[in-house]
Amino acid sequence: MKKLNYAIFDMDGTLLESMQYWRTIVLDLVDRFGIEVPSSLREEIVYHSFNRAVALLKEKTPHPALDQCTPAVALEIMDAHYQNDVTVRGGVRELLDALAARGVRMCLFSATPTEIAKRALARHELDRYFEMFLSPIEIPGGKSDPESFREVCRRFGTIEPSECYLFEDALYSIKTAKPLGFYAVATEDALQVKNKDAILALCDEYYTDGFKIRVK
């Protein structure tokens, strides 16, 4: 792996085996509220974000209880999953130890709100590796906006993207950041396999089974 001094890490699907819980959280809620959803629609919504999945349900299977399927309720459920069910991905501890031994400064940039992300990592004693914890709460543009990644670099001390690793599993984030010059290290998550060819074309390194097996 190329030697750089800074690293930006995603959390869900990169450090933690948590994406399956995010993708089924809407199904957890509709089951809780007794909303009947056709099997074909259940299979479709796991590939959408929470807000898009709820919007799709309201469009195709209207039900008054869907108004109770809010992001706040979803975060409560995910917080419980982080504390009870979510595990660390393969090779993550070894990777973080290796980077820390080299003095690499590390930041978490997650779509999950910072306080929940901190608790999730603290459960596995991974929070100690990161000097910054950022989310769309702190950087509203999120990972679809190149300016968000520039802002992370500014928070490191006005570094260039070419000085920094990006560890990610999601195509949209890699597509946003890679053209800026980041060294993109991708790890394969089950829900991103459909985007594998596109991710491989963009990233500098690609791993399966967490960070155990290097493919590229």
pLDDT, residue 32, reads 87
Q: Residue 108: enclosing H or E segment and its boundaries?
A: strand 105-109
What are the tens digits of pLDDT across the range 139-187? Answer: 998 999 999 999 999 999 989 999 999 999 999 999 999 999 999 999 9
Residue 63 CA to residue 130 CA, distance in Å, equals 43
The CATH fold assigned to 6-18+88-214 is: Rossmann fold (3.40.50)
pLDDT, residue 7, reads 98
* Coil, helix or strand at residue 181: coil
What are the tens digits of pLDDT across the range 17-62? Answer: 999 999 889 998 888 888 889 988 988 888 888 888 999 999 998 8
**How many other CB atoms are found less than 10 A from the CB of residue 17?**
19
Residue 68 CA to residue 66 CA, distance in Å, equals 5
Give residue limits of the domains in the chain: 6-18+88-214, 20-84
At residue 184, φ and ψ (nearest 5 deg) are -90, 120
